[in-house]
Amino acid sequence: MSRRPRGPRPGIVVATLLTAALALAGCSAGTVTQTDTIVSQAAGAFGQVGAMSLRDISLDSGPAETVPSGAEIALRGSLVNEGGTPDRLVAVSTPYATGFRQEGETVIPNNNVLRIVGAAPAPVGPANLDTRQSASARVVLTGTTQQMRPGPTYAVTFTFERAGSITLPVIVVGAGPSQG
């Protein structure tokens, strides 16, 4: 009487491993993929530092799709002060620009929002309680050090007087060429 060995047979194990290896190899996309030119439709960056919540922060290239080196690019999003004390945006910096300019409000009242308007022409200034319009500002990065385009993220640091600093990975969003 012969006994069968218990456990999997070596031939079956080898065949299973080879099949799995071939299946996984087929999942590799290589260096050129079908999705390498697709731009993310994801919302802007979100972050929190102290009582300051940064929401939907992006770089707004306006009517252009890309911004050339040496140009300016505006930021867009909302700064929400969730604390009981007013705070102030004192600086915005990035390795991809030499400076920044801010127009409109710099103080974010306690339990309130400062809307960053982006590149579109929009009024900037203090909140209007009659129309329930939040305070707004235009924040522009000046002297870009390289071409900025949709796709990659760019590190942008926001510095607040009380809350401190936070660096976010920010995407470029713009209208691009018109589809006429």
- pLDDT value, residue 121: 80
- pLDDT value, residue 46: 96
User: Has residue 13 been placed in a domain?
Assistant: no
Find tokens 């929190």 and name the residue.
48
User: Has residue 61 been placed in a domain?
Assistant: yes
Both tokens of 107, joined, read: 């103080």
User: Has residue 2 been placed in a domain?
Assistant: no
CATH number for position 98: 2.60.40.1890
- pLDDT value, residue 157: 98
List of the chain residues with pLDDT < 70: 1-42, 127-133, 176-180
What residue numbers bound the domain in which 163 lies?
47-172
Residues 6+ apart with CB under 8 A from 74: 59, 60, 62, 117, 118, 119, 138, 139, 140, 141
User: Has residue 131 been placed in a domain?
Assistant: yes
- pLDDT value, residue 37: 47
- pLDDT value, residue 176: 57
- pLDDT value, residue 40: 47
User: Has residue 98 been placed in a domain?
Assistant: yes
- pLDDT value, residue 135: 85
- pLDDT value, residue 107: 92
User: Has residue 87 been placed in a domain?
Assistant: yes
- pLDDT value, residue 145: 97
- pLDDT value, residue 180: 43
- Total domain count for the chain? 1
